[in-house]
Amino acid sequence: MKVPSYICIEGVIGAGKTSLTRMLCERLDARAIYEKPEENPFLADFYRDPQRYAFQVQLFFLLSRYRQQQESLQPDLFHETTISDYLFAKDRIFAHLNLEDRELFLYDKIASLLEQDIVKPDLVVYLQSSVERLMSNIRKRNRNYEKEISEEYISSLNEAYNRFFFHYQETPLLVVNSTAIDFVQNQGDFEELVRQIVRPHSGIEYYSPAR
């Protein structure tokens, strides 16, 4: 069975994107691309005062993700598969949620130019989860720059993600109902998730583990 060459793992803050990316890379001997939110100098300020810092945080993420994509997706002789813990197009989810109209107009102009150079993945895996589970995961990992995140913001973001992926048609998409599973601590959950990811995909597909 041929594993997709380029996989993107997506989900709301706290969904487990980075953990799953790391585990899949170890299992599949894949190259990893990790988003580095802690390098955004405006992020902590944004969570304290979203209206004031939304545009700065958004533009920094857009440009840094673009640079990382250009650098990281060069041909690699040692790995057949690349796995990223973010989808470049998801930047628009945050932009439309956080920016006011004039800021969004300028953002769209810049993003449209950059998106022309972005390589599309062979598969996107969307880790769909409940707000309660997301907030629990955020509290557990206790990152300094996430301490000001409100449940209201995560709820709005969760709705925006669901809306985005409901209409997503750019690449094959696997929507995983991850609320009731723990692929980090439960080996069985992880093994079944791996099987779901490496099988052939087309269009939008759903995986909802029974509990």
Domain ranges of the chain: 6-207
Segment 126-179, tens digit of pLDDT? 999 999 999 999 999 888 888 889 999 999 999 999 999 999 999 999 999 999
Give the per-residue pLDDT at 79. 83
C-alpha count within 13 angstroms, C-beta hemisphere, residue 49: 5
Contact (Cβ atoms closer than 8 angstroms) between residue 122 and residue 67: no
- Has domain 6-207 been given CATH number 3.40.50.300? yes
Contact (Cβ atoms closer than 8 angstroms) between residue 85 and residue 9: yes
Strand partners, 8: 84, 124
Segment 29-74, tens digit of pLDDT? 999 999 999 999 999 999 999 999 999 999 999 999 999 998 887 7
Kindly state the percentage of the chain with pLDDT values over 70.
98
- Number of residues assigned to the chain: 211
Segment 110-123, tens digit of pLDDT? 999 999 999 999 99
At residue 84, what are phi and psi to the nearest 5 degrees? -115, 145
Please choose, from the candidates 9, 30, 14, 20, the residue with its C-alpha nearest in 3D space to the C-alpha of residue 183: 20
At residue 107, what are phi and psi to the nearest 5 degrees? -60, -45
Choosing from 49, 85, 91, 101, the catalytic residue is 85
Comparison of pLDDT for 142 and 86, the residue scoring more: 86
The three-point CA angle 71-74-79 to 5° equals 120
CA distance 174 to 128: 10
101 flagged as catalytic: no
